[in-house]
């Protein structure tokens, strides 16, 4: 049973489909308020979601997260309207079918899944410090376990592309590395941050170009669990047995070692530089 002290306000990126939607449903069912930072809308035939929207327990802020102008506008609206945030789930992302670049000129996986979570955390840090739980969960991936090499210098403009096990995996590795590197500093300020793999889930959506290798699609459809499984793992990352341990990378709710840990400072410095020299001067509301 969820206690009263656990209830509060959670911000979830990518809250309207897949794992993010299931996490939104779970938190709402337990009495949480949810801030959804999303690009498109929620399912229109979901009665609990509609009720939560009507009662304003679910509040939507729309943005293309990979576009700094759009992101900055939405985050400004959040900061102006919300009194506090107790939990931040940096969950938005996905694997893309081909090599693509953001409006800022960086590889899209890296921008969306490595840089943007850092920006969101920094811009909402003031609201997190006003919360009670003060926790950030970054959605990682066990795809990082397949990487045999990792070069931070190629994150922004990779020389090659491979579905799922190329830029997607390296961007998730970079996310977990900067999470580990910054965790001690944030813990000293009262904020707990960790990364968690939600495991394999059947999140395939019809009509959407997939970044999955063709041979994985039938396997996922037949054997992978419902996205509520991944939502449960992210939930455990926030509230479970490792909830007071900063910086860890969780796989199946157990601490897993991170390869390429020696590159964590370089990755953090890279995302910090993008935030401080590019984002803050033009878009920051903090």
Locate the domains of the chain by residue range: 4-283
For the cut 90, the answer to whether the pLDDT of residue 204 exceeds it is: no
Residues 6+ apart with CB under 8 A from 231: 19, 20, 22, 23, 25, 26, 198
The predicted pLDDT at position 227 comes to: 85
pLDDT band at residue 285 using 50, 70 and 90 as cut-offs: confident
The predicted pLDDT at position 220 comes to: 60
Which of residues 206 and 196 earns the better pLDDT score? 196
The predicted pLDDT at position 102 comes to: 98
DSSP assignment of 144-211, as one string?
GGG-S---GGGSSS-S---TTTTHHHHHHHHHHHHHHHHHHHHHHHT-EEEEEE--------TTS---
pTM of the model: 0.92
Q: What is the CATH number of domain 4-283?
A: 3.40.50.720
pLDDT in tens, 51-102: 999 999 999 999 999 999 999 999 999 999 999 999 999 999 888 989 999 9
> How many whole angstroms separate alpha carbon 106 and alpha carbon 156?
5
Average pLDDT, integer, range 257-268: 97
The predicted pLDDT at position 7 comes to: 85
pLDDT band at residue 215 using 50, 70 and 90 as cut-offs: low
């Amino acid at each position: 049973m969820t206690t009263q002290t656990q209830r509060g306000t959670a911000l979830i990126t990518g809250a309207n489909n897949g794992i993010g939607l299931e996490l939104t449903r779970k938190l709402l069912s337990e009495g949480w308020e949810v801030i959804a930072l999303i690009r498109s809308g929620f399912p229109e035939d979901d009665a609990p979601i509609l009720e939560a929207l009507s009662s304003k327990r679910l509040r939507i802020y729309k943005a293309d997260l990979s576009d700094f102008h759009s992101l900055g506008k939405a985050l400004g609206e959040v900061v102006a309207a919300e009194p506090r945030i107790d939990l931040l789930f940096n969950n938005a992302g996905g694997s893309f079918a081909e090599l693509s670049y953001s409006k800022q000129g960086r590889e899209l996986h890296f921008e969306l899944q490595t840089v943007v979570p850092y920006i969101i955390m920094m811009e909402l840090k003031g609201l997190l410090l006003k919360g009670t739980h003060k926790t950030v969960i970054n959605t990682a991936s066990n795809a990082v376990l397949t990487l045999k090499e990792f070069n931070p210098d190629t994150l922004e403009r990779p020389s090659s592309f491979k579905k799922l096990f190329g830029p997607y995996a390296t961007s998730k590795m970079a996310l977990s590395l900067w999470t580990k590197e910054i965790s001690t500093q944030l813990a000293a300020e009262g904020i707990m941050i960790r990364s968690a793999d939600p495991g394999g889930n059947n999140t395939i959506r019809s009509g959407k170009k997939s970044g999955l290798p063709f041979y994985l699609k039938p396997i996922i459809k037949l054997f992978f669990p419902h996205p509520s499984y991944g939502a449960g793992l992210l939930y455990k990352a926030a509230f479970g047995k490792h909830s007071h341990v900063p910086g860890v990378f969780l796989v199946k709710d157990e601490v897993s070692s991170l390869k390429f840990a020696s590159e964590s400072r370089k990755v953090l410095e890279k995302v910090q530089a993008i935030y401080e020299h590019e984002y803050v001067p033009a878009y920051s509301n903090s």
